[in-house]
Amino acid sequence: MRILVPVKRVVDYNVKVRVKADGSGIDTANVKMSMNPFDEIATEEAIRMKERGVASEIVAVSLGESRCQETLRTALAMGADRAILVETNVELQPLAVAKLLKAIVAREQPGLVIMGKQAIDDDSNQTAQMLAGLLGWPQATFASRIDIADGWATVQREIDEGLETLRVRLPAVISVDLRLNEPRYASLPNIMKAKKKPLEVLPPEALGVDPVPRLRYLRFEEPPKRKAGIKVSSVKELVERLKNEAGVL
């Protein structure tokens, strides 16, 4: 079975995100970028499936500017077999990403698409669901455990009430959550080998998809700074402050 793993280049999770002075977007100049953490978990799970003999090939795919090749090389160093970059400087929103991935799926014919539940930059949590809808495939989201056997995927997923187990027939789309696994570090020999692994670059036009954005962002603002907490001497004072200062009673 071939597994397709979409990966996204985002601002590193250790970096404090800053808004541009004019409020037009996020400042990414000289900012460390890395693979979206949820996509890293998805890549690790695909590699483990291959190590168990469930998968025969892992194809990593990314969409965006040419620097996304760095993210794909990271996936290749972790253990993916080859990579595809759909290169464009157009801002890609979830629907456009889902349409491009649908075209890649039609081209590659994977038995499973496994991806992060969301990207930490826009937090949309839409692409996996949209892709499954466009493909007409079953889906399982927020996976914390995945077992593949006899053409079926048994997925334990995290929901508000606890854990839910689903069984979906392959091919399917699965989005993963944090507790699924601990991604491995790429070793230096594998990083060197990754430079020789095939990485194909395509324009969106080659896939017959127009990635033009459907939404327009008007302004970005940083959240207001929280005021320092205070201590109260009694319940009566607490109630008074909640009523007269906070205005919540």
In tens, the pLDDT along 137-182 reads 999 999 999 999 999 999 999 888 889 999 999 999 999 999 999 9
**Rounded Cα distance, 64 and 56, in Å:** 27
State the pTM of this model: 0.85
Q: Give the burial class of 57: count Cβ atoms within 10 A of its Cβ; 0-12 exposed, 13-18 middle, 19 or more buried.
A: middle
Return the pLDDT at 155: 96
Return the pLDDT at 227: 81
Average of pLDDT values for 69-97? Answer: 95
| Terminal-residue alpha carbon distance, the chain | 59
Determine how β-strand 9-11 pairs with β-strand 33-35: antiparallel
Residue boundaries of the structural domains of the chain: 2-246
Tell me the CATH number for domain 2-246. 3.40.50.620
**Residue 19: its H or E element:** none
